[in-house]
Amino acid sequence: MRYAYHLMPPLAMLLILGLADHASSTEAPAACLPDQASALLQLKRSFNATIGDYPAAFRSWVAGADCCHWDGVRCGGADGRVTSLDLSHRDLQASSGLDDALFSLTSLEYLDLSSNDFSKSKLPATGFEKLTGLTHLDLSNTNFAGLVPAGIGRLTSLNYLDLSTTFFVEGLDDKYSITYYYSDTMAQLSEPSLETLLANLTNLEELRLGMVMVNMSSNYGTARWCDAMARSSPKLRVISMPYCSLSGPICHSLSALRSLSVIELHYNHLSGPVPEFLAALPSLSVLQLSNNMFEGVFPPIIFQHEKLTTINLTKNLGISGNLPTSFSGDSSLQSLSVSNTNFSGTIPGSISNLRSLKELALGASGFSGVLPSSIGKLKSLSLLEVSGLELVGSIPSWISNLTSLTVLKFFSCGLSGPIPASIGNLKKLTKLALYNCHFSGVIAPQILNLTHLQYLLLHSNNLVGTVELSSYSKMQNLSALNLSNNKLVVMDGENSSSVVSYPNIILLRLASCSISSFPNILRHLHEITFLDLSYNQIQGAIPQWAWKTLNLGFALFNLSHNKFTSIGSHPLLPVYIEFFDLSFNNIEGVIPIPKEGSVTLDYSNNRFSSLPLNFSTYLTNTVLFKASNNSISGNIPPSICDGIKSLQLIDLSNNNLTGLIPSCLMEDADALQVLSLKDNHLTGELPDNIKEGCALSALDFSGNSIQGQLPRSLVACRNLEILDIGNNKISDSFPCWMSKLPQLQVLVLKSNKFIGQILDPSYTGGGNNCQFTKLQFADMSSNNLSGTLPEEWFKMLKSMIMDTCDNDMLMREQHLYYRGKMQSYQFTAGISYKGSGLTISKTLRTLVLIDVSNNAFHGRIPRSIGELVLLRALNMSHNALTGPIPVQFANLKQLELLDLSSNELSGEIL
C-alpha cells in the first residue's frame, strides 16, 4: 500500500499547533464520577427486572462504563456529575418506591420518571430539597400516593412541574361512562396547601397537577387558589389541574398572568361566572372548563380571541349564552364545545368561517331553528354533536359531505324523520349517537356497513321494525349498542346459537324492545359489563348458562320489569355486580346476593320469601339495599349490623318481618341515611342510644306494632328530614323536643296513642318553644291529643308561611350519592280524606299539609292558620271544635283539600 505524503508549510504548522494549544485549554467533558454511577446503579436495582422495558432501559447501565453515556443519562460541565435523568415511558415497576439514591444526584437539572409504576408507594418526605438546580420535574403517571413532599416547593429553579395522573372518560351512552387511567391500579397524591407548594416557585412556567387532591381549607380560602398562583408564580404559561377538587370562582388575580396559554380546569367544583378578562390574555390558546358548576352568561368576546384553539364548556348546566352571529375567519378554533350547557338561540351560518375546526359540540337543549347547511363545508370535522329541543326538520343531507367524521351525535333534539341511509357512507365513524329525538322509520341496513363503529346509540326515538341482534356480528369493533325505548321488536336472529365471530360488546341496552326470551346472543358476549333488558316480557327462569358465561362481573345488570320467576342459580351468585336490579318481576324464594359484592341491590316488587343466611357478609361495599313489596318473613337478622358500614339506604318495607328492630340500624347510623321498615309486623320499642354523628335523613316505621315512646336521642340526627311512625302503638306526648332537629320537614304521628296538648307547659319550658322551622307535612291524626289548638304554634310554622330559597319546598326525593352520581329514593305519604285513606305517591314537592283530625281538640280554630298561605291540605275533622270558620282562611289561595267535618262549628260560611 502506498501513502502520499505532503510537506506542510511552516506557517500552517504554527497555526495548527496554536489551535491544539487552545483546545487543550478548554475543559473536555469528564467521565462520570464513581459516586454518581453508584447512585444510578442503586436506582436501577430498585426496579423489577422482569417488568416493562427494563432490558432496553438499562442495557447500557453497566458497572465500570462511563455513566454519562448511559441511556437516559446526561452529564454537564467537566466535573462528571449527572444533570439529566430521563427514564420516562418505560413501564418500569418499583414495588418499594423511589430509592433515596436519586437524591445523591444533586446536580440534576432535568428529571423525568413519568409513566412508570411505583406501586402506590409514598414519595419520600425528604430528599427533593437537595436537588436545588432542578428546572424540570416530571412524575406524571407514576402511581405515587400520599402527600406531595414539601421539598418540591423549595426547588426555586423549577420551571416545569408535572405530578398529574392521566385519565380519560369515555361515554358509553348518555348514562354510563368508563374512566380509564394510565395504570390498572390508580393512587392519588394530595397537596395539603397549594399556597405553600407555590410560595417559592417563582420561575414556574408549567404547572400540571391533574388528579392531585388539593386541600382548599387553608386560611387562603376556597376561592383563593388562583391568588396563590398569581402571587407566587407570575411566569405561568400552563395551568393544568383537572380533577383537583378546586372550588370557588376563577378570581380576577389570574388576569395578571399575561403569559397564560393553557388553562385546563375540567372536572372540578368551580362556580361563579366565566370571567371576561380571559379574552384579554394575549397568548391564550386552550380554555378547558368542562364538568364544573359555572353559571351566568358566557362572555361572547371570548369566542373572538384569535389564538384560542380550544373552548370547552361541556357539562356546565348553569352557563348560558348564544353563539356569535358572526364568527371571524381569522379564528384559530379547532375545538368548540358547549354541550350540556344552557346555551340557546340559533346556530349561525358563519360557523363555517372556522376553517380549522375539527370538533364542534353544540349539544344544548336550548338551540332552535334550522341547522345551517354551511356546517357541511367544514370538511375537516371529526366530531359533530348537535342538540336542541326546538330544532326543526330532519337529519340534513349535507351530513354525508363530512367524510372525516369519526363522531356524529344528534341527541335530545326536535329533529324527526328517518335516519338517512347515506350515513352509511361515513366510513370513518366510530361513534353514531342518534337518541332522544323523534327519529322514526326502520334502522337503515347501510348502518351495518360502518365497520369501524364502536358505539351505536339509537335509543329513545320512534324507530320501528324488527332487529336481529345476530346481524350486528358484522360490526367487529362494536363496544356499545343501545336500542332501548323505541317501537322495535328485538330478536336473536339466525346463527345466534352457532359459533360465529361476535364483537366484544361492553354495553348492551335493550329496554322496552318487546323481547320475550333471554337473548341467546349473550352466550357469545364475554366482555359485557353493562346489560339492560328491563321493561320487556321475558318469562321463566334466568338461564343457568347466563351465570356461567357472564362471569366477569357487571357494572350494570338490569332485568327489572319483566316476568322472571326464578333466578336460575344458587342464591350466592358467582359474580360482582355493581348495580343489580331485579325489581318488578315474579321471582320467588331466597333473595340472591352477588358474593363478590355490589353497590346497589334492588329486589323490590317480587315474591321473595327470605333473606339468605349471613347475607350481610356480602354487603361490605353496598350503598343501597331495596327489597320492598315482597313476602320476606322472620326477624331482621342481627347480622345485618355487620354490613351497614357503607349502607346509605335500607328499604324492607311491605313485607312480613317480625320481631325487634336491630339497635344498630339507628344507634350506629354514621353512614345510613334512609331506613324504611314500614308495613311489616315489627314489635318492641325503638332503639334509644343514638350516637352523635347520626347521618339519618329519613325514617319510616309506619304500619307496624311498635310501642313505647319516641327515642329522645333522635336529636342526634341533625340531618333528619322525614320521620313517619304512623299506624303503630306509640304512647307519648306531642314531641316538641323534635323542634331541635333543624331539617325536619315531614312528621307523621298518625294512628298512635299520643296524648296531651300540643304546647303543654310541662315540656315547652326551658327555652323549647316548639318551633319547627322547616316543617311542611304534619300529620298527627287519629291520636288522643286534646286541649285547644294554640294560635302561637301555627305562627311558628315559618316554612308554610313563605317560600324561601332555604326550604325550596323540600318535600322531595332523598338524594344519595355514590361516585358522584345521584341516586334518588322516593317516599310516599298516606293522608285521610273524607274518611278514606289516600296515598300520595309523588315527590311531595308542592304538598304542604296539616292533619289534626280524629283527636279531642276543642275550642276555636286558630285564626293564625290563615297565615299559612302555602297550605295545600288541611284536615281538622272529627274533633270538638267550635265557633266560626276564620275569615282568614280566604288567604289560603293554594288550598286544595279542606275537611272540617264532624265538629261543632257555627256561623256563616263566607
Instruction: Single out the residue in 467, 493, 508 at which a domain terminates.
Output: 508
**Are the beta carbons of 523 and 551 closer than 8 angstroms?**
no
Confidence band for 29, pLDDT divided at 50, 70 and 90? low
Distance CA 606, CA 515 (A): 20
Instruction: Single out the residue in 465, 481, 508 at which a domain terminates.
Output: 508
CATH number at residue 80: 3.80.10.10
**What type of residue sits at position 155?**
L
Instruction: Assess whether pLDDT exceeds 90 at residue 497.
Output: no
Q: In what order do the strands lie in the sheet containing 146-147?
A: 146-147, 189-191, 213-214
Distance CA 435, CA 550 (A): 28
State mean pLDDT over 587-607. Answer: 95
Centre a 10 Å sphere on the Cβ of residue 815 and count the other Cβ atoms it contains: 12
Among 693, 627, 636, 626, residue whose Cα is nearest residue 663 = 636
Confidence band for 220, pLDDT divided at 50, 70 and 90? very low
Q: How far is CA 374 from CA 181, 269, 353, 355, 361, in A?
A: 38, 36, 9, 11, 15
789 domain residue, yes or no: no
pLDDT at site 13: 31
756 domain residue, yes or no: no
379 domain residue, yes or no: yes
73 domain residue, yes or no: yes
Please provide residue 667's backbone torsions phi and psi, each rounded to the nearest 5 degrees: -80, -25
pLDDT at site 610: 95
Q: Within 13 Å and on the Cβ side, how many CA atoms surround 617?
A: 8
Output the average pLDDT for the chain. 89
Distance CA 583, CA 589 (A): 14
Q: How far is CA 460 from CA 152, 434, 511, 526, 674, in A?
A: 52, 9, 10, 26, 32
Q: How far is CA 679 from CA 624, 728, 751, in A?
A: 19, 10, 13
Q: Which of 222-231, 518-527, 539-548 has the lowest mean pLDDT?
A: 222-231
The DSSP secondary structure of 133-192, one letter per residue, reads: T--EEE-TT---BEEPPGGGGG-TT-SEEE----EEEEESSSS-EEEEESSSS---EEES
Distance CA 722, CA 777 (A): 9
Centre a 10 Å sphere on the Cβ of residue 800 and count the other Cβ atoms it contains: 26
pLDDT at site 502: 84
33 domain residue, yes or no: yes
The DSSP secondary structure of 9-29, one letter per residue, reads: PHHHHHHHHHHHHHHHHSPPP
Centre a 10 Å sphere on the Cβ of residue 166 and count the other Cβ atoms it contains: 16
**Are the beta carbons of 70 and 118 closer than 8 angstroms?**
no
Q: In what order do the strands lie in the sheet containing 341-346?
A: 247-248, 269-272, 293-297, 316-321, 341-346, 366-369, 390-391
Confidence band for 500, pLDDT divided at 50, 70 and 90? low
pLDDT at site 19: 33
Distance CA 17, CA 13 (A): 6
- Here the cell at position 166 is 392521566
Q: Which of 93-107, 215-229, 365-379, 781-795 has the lowest mean pLDDT?
A: 215-229
Number of structural domains found in the chain: 2
Q: HEC string of 748-773?
A: ECCCCEEEECCCCCCCCCCCCCCCCC
Q: Is the pTM of this model over 0.85?
A: yes
Instruction: Assess whether pLDDT exceeds 50 at residue 877.
Output: yes
Q: Within 13 Å and on the Cβ side, how many CA atoms surround 794?
A: 20
571 domain residue, yes or no: no
Chain segment 367-380, per-residue pLDDT in tens: 999 999 999 999 99
| Sign, Cα dihedral of 559, 560, 561, 567 | positive
Please provide residue 693's backbone torsions phi and psi, each rounded to the nearest 5 degrees: 95, 5
Residue 398, domain extent: 358-508
More reliable by pLDDT, 563 or 222: 563
664 domain residue, yes or no: no
839 domain residue, yes or no: no
pLDDT at site 465: 96
Q: Which of 208-222, 280-294, 442-456, 895-909 has the lowest mean pLDDT?
A: 208-222
